[in-house]
Amino acid sequence: FEGSSVTEQRHAPLLNFFIHLVPMLLVFVFLLVIRFNSARQAMIVLSSILTAACAVVGALWVGGTGINEYGFFAAFLVVGWALYLSSFQLERINYLDLPETTFNSRLLSASTQAMRPMLMVAVMAMVAMVPIYLQVTPALYSMVFIIGIGLPLMSLIQIFLTPLLFAILFASRFNG
């Protein structure tokens, strides 16, 4: 979508972003429901999209930059990473079968196992963006800030959000 007026042309990248995002999300929801055999767990994974959106907006605010096509690419990367992280955490929680353990200890053990690889990737993303930030043109700053700040911020939030949502939605199943 290009648009004919100046206003339409200004908003065309945002519209293109949503035109591509909606079908991708529908396919992903379908695959998640098939994978986890639960619509509630699929919704937990999809809640990570809100976490990624908040992290992207926060990164752009910290960087003081607008978003362009490079920023959209980085935003898709952060959304994909958020979806992967939450599904990774849910798999750890679902398949951690410790005998004679409570729901809370199972949830805590699975979350701490998932924390190390998540934080390692977040720190490496920050470190990888430093030389790019020092050598790039201002057009790439939105991408650098989204990946360098947004991805680690989203990872930190996601470490706590997915187990919290799982505990809220499934505690009665394990404690009841």
Which tens digits make up the pLDDT trace of 14-45?
677 777 778 877 887 788 788 777 787 888 88
**Residue 173: band (very low, low, confident or very high) from pLDDT cuts 50, 70, 90:** low
Residues 122 and 155: beta-carbon distance below 8 Å: yes
Contact assessment for residue 141 and residue 64, using Cβ atoms and an 8 Å cutoff: no
Q: Fill in the amino acid letter for 6.
A: V
Q: Are 133 and 141 in contact (CB under 8 A)?
A: yes
> Which pair of tokens denotes residue 34?
């098939």
pLDDT of residue 144: 85
Supply the pLDDT for residue 154. 87
pLDDT value of position 10: 66
Write down the pTM of the prediction: 0.71
What percent of the chain is modeled with pLDDT above 90?
Answer: 0
Average pLDDT across the chain, whole number: 78
Alpha-carbon distances of 79 from 10, 45, 51, 72, 133, rounded to whole Å: 23, 11, 8, 10, 21
Who contacts 171 (Cβ-Cβ below 8 Å, separation ≥6)? 103
Kindly report, residue by residue over 61-81, the tens digit of the pLDDT.
887 777 777 888 888 888 888
What pLDDT is recorded for position 1?
Answer: 47
Q: Helix, strand, coil % (nearest 5) of the chain?
A: 90, 0, 10
Distance CA 27, CA 119 (A): 28
What's the confidence (pLDDT) of residue 31?
Answer: 81
In this predicted structure, what is the pLDDT of residue 61? 83
Q: How many CA atoms lie within 13 A of 28 on its CB side?
A: 21
Per-residue pLDDT, averaged over 154-158, amounts to 85
